Amino acid sequence: MNPALAPDGASALLERIRKAVSEVVIGRPVVVDRALTCLAAGGHLLIEDVPGVGKTTLAASLAHAVGAGFRRIQFTSDLLPGDVLGMRLPEPGTHQFKFHPGPVFAHVVLADELNRTSPRTQSAFLEAMEEGKVTIDGETHDLPSPFWVVATQNPHDAQGAYGLPDSQLDRFLIRTSVGYPDREQERVLLRRESSRSVLPQPVACPDDLRSLQMAVSRVALVAKLEDRILDLVQRTRQDPRFIRGVSPRGAQSFARALRAYALVRGRDFVIPEDVFELAGPVLSHRVLVRGETREGSLRVIQALVEAG
């Protein structure tokens, strides 16, 4: 087993990864930090945005920066679970069947346009995301460790989009968007010779990621901030605007995300500002607010945080 990194070593590693990725992903410090938070916490990332804003580039850059195997799965309406997980096929000239791994068998998997495929295929991801393994014909197969999913989905008003079930949304640590670049950032993109960015050189390896994820539990979260988390969670369960509040698993995920984010910001302790920064991205997809869209849920969660 790899030893856990000390918090300062974990922050230094995250800074190296950030610099490598930021050379390719121009002008997106917030989304890069949120992706790094998921990476450190061992949680999955969901990006909701229109095509062409750099979602694939972000995922591929992170995978290359950490020296991890990377696979991209383009989800379509006719994709079957076996196309993702793999399947048992007969061996030529024998009566034996052999398991052929699907594209999910990689350290970093980009599930592109996840909500364009059927609920049956979406649900095939659940065991992989939660357990780090898949079961085919009653036989369990372990996925590479660490295993990290970056999923993208089109806005819900896009043609051919299926809503992700609540059980699957809950498997994502952070839900965020990329957004459009500003004018000068887009000028840099226009001046690149090719639309295909040069990916960064590795600055880490999968063993480093395992040590990094172990370091998260060493980050201090004082009782006063624990109380703030618990107060916020309780309000989502008691406020009449909410049909469904944050679950106990959601509260645990929030605490781990805060510890990981502190390392991303170069600290070994969580501060109140971290709660404000992450409450929306971590909690808004775990609640159901009456008559509100995702953006409305974000605003309601942020209002609860601001109210103390």
Output the CATH code of domain 28-189: 3.40.50.300
Calculate what percentage of the chain has a pLDDT beyond 90: 53
Which of 17, 284, 35 lies closest to 152, judged by CA?
Answer: 35
**pTM (predicted TM-score):** 0.90
Q: What is the mean pLDDT of the chain?
A: 88
**How far is the C-alpha of 256 from the C-alpha of 231, rounded, in Å?**
17
pLDDT-above-70 percentage for the chain: 95
The 10s digit of each residue's pLDDT in 135-148 is 888 888 999 989 99
- The pLDDT, as a whole number, for residue 158 is 53
Q: Which of 48, 31, 50 is nearest to 153 (CA)?
A: 48
pLDDT tens digits, one per residue of 196-239 = 557 888 999 999 999 999 999 999 999 999 999 999 999 999 99
Task: Round the CA-based radius of gyration of the chain to a whole number and report it.
Answer: 20
Residues in the chain: 308
pLDDT band at 84 (very low <50, low <70, confident <90, very high): very high
Confidence check: pLDDT of 194 > 70: no
Q: Where in the chain are the domains?
A: 28-189
Using the predicted structure, report yes or no on whether residue 2 has a pLDDT greater than 80. no
Per DSSP, the three-state class of 222 is: coil
Predicted local confidence at residue 97, as pLDDT: 86
